[in-house]
Amino acid sequence: MLLGRLLDLAPPTPTPPAPDSTWQLLNSQFLNTLAVIIFGLVAVIALIIAIKTYRQGQRRKELAWQVRSDSLVVPNKEIKDRIEIRLDGSPIQDLSLVSLQVWNSGNTAIELQDYVHPIKLKLKGRAVQDAYISDMKPQTLITKEEIEKFRKDNETLRQQESMLVKLPELHLNSQKASGVLNSYTIKVLLTGPQGRISLASGMIKEGYIKEIPPLDIQPQLIIFNRRAINIDFILTTVSLIATLIAVLITILSVRR
């Protein structure tokens, strides 16, 4: 009985306060709002990057070069031994002529200051004997002074490295932007067995130097393909962002 009285006199055990439903609601809304803001910022950043990439692809400087022909001057073996070819009074063998076409395949003009590093092509295993410019489009593309400078530069270059040819540094408009094709052809006279022609060095400011395979591939087709790649990239990015936002909205709706 004494124990019962003591228990009756003891203070009741305090019960924990009920959770504040208002605070829980505010906390849940805050987290949901924060998640939406974060996903929104990520989506906006991704879209900005996609648009910037697309614009960079749209505005480009691209110097293209292509081997149009590479043939021996005397290809017939039956008459090769009957003909003697001399260059500057000295007999030579395995004489060949290479024709290289150069043009601006981009959609932005290539200015004189865009030639950051001289562009040189390497004709492996052969020695350059002479190089000259022909077939300018338009005919006023290159001045006499520029032609003379091209010949002097290459004469000095082949004394140092006989396998190299240096391209002239010219202002080349984009055919797409101006409607007029700017191009020229370099004829290179060489001795030695035929070998691969490749880019040895060179750099265009905010641009590219592109070799076109010697298969009559038109630059317009390459431009179209690159545009398609850029458009596909943007569509994929936008679709991914839309999917993420839809998933986020669905999750938030289920939680509520």
Any idea where the domains of the chain sit in the sequence? 61-214, 218-256
| Residue 7, both tokens | 């228990």
Cα–Cα distance for residue pair 244/39, rounded to 1 Å:
8
CB 221 within 8 A of CB 228: no
The tens digit of pLDDT for each residue in 195-237 reads: 889 999 999 998 989 999 886 434 333 333 344 445 556 666 6
**Rounded CA gap, 18 and 21, in Å?**
9
Q: How confident is the model at residue 1 (pLDDT cuts 50, 70, 90)?
A: low
> Which segment of 20-29, 128-137, 178-187, 220-229 scores lowest on mean pLDDT?
220-229
Angle 220-222-226 (CA atoms, 0-180°, nearest 5)?
A: 115
**pLDDT at 192 (0 to 100):** 86
Record the tokens describing residue 111, joined without a space.
């200015």
Token representation of residue 2: 């004494």
- The better pLDDT of the pair 105, 26 is held by 105
What per-residue confidence (pLDDT) applies to 83?
73
Is the previous residue joined to 138 through a cis bond, with omega within 30 degrees of 0? Answer: yes
Torsion of CA 217, 223, 224, 226, to 10 degrees: 110
Residue 131's DSSP bridge partners are 188
pLDDT bucket at 31, cuts 50 / 70 / 90: low
Confidence (pLDDT) at 156: 93
The residue ranking higher by pLDDT, 7 or 60, is 60
| Cβ(106)–Cβ(178) below 8 Å | no
Q: What is the per-residue pLDDT for 220?
A: 39
Would you state the structure tokens that stand for residue 154, as one six-digit string? 């290459």
Please give the mean pLDDT across all residues of the chain: 76
Which has more confidence, 32 or 115?
115
pLDDT at 199 (0 to 100):
93
pLDDT, tens digit (0-9, with 9 covering 90-100), for 57-75: 567 889 999 999 888 877 6
Question: What percent of the chain shows pLDDT beyond 70?
Answer: 59
Res. 178: pLDDT tops 80? no
Band of residue 94 on the pLDDT scale cut at 50, 70, 90: confident
pLDDT of 118: 94
Task: Using CB atoms within 10 Å of the CB of residue 110, give its burial: 0 to 12 exposed, 13 to 18 middle, 19+ buried.
Answer: buried
Question: Bridge-partner residues for 69, per DSSP?
Answer: 99
Confidence label for 56 from pLDDT (cuts 50, 70 and 90): low
- Is the pLDDT confidence value at 92 over 90? no
Torsions phi, psi for 188 (to 5 deg) = -120, 125
pLDDT digits (tens, 9 = 90+) for 150-161: 999 999 999 999
What is the residue-wise DSSP string for 19-75? P-HHHHHHHHHHHHHHHHHHHHHHHHHHHHHHHHHHHHHHS-EEEEEEEEEEEESS-
What is the tally of helices (H) and strands (E) in the chain?
6, 10
The pLDDT value given to residue 179: 81
State residue 238's pLDDT score.
66
**Inter-residue contact 124 to 163 (CB < 8 Å):** yes
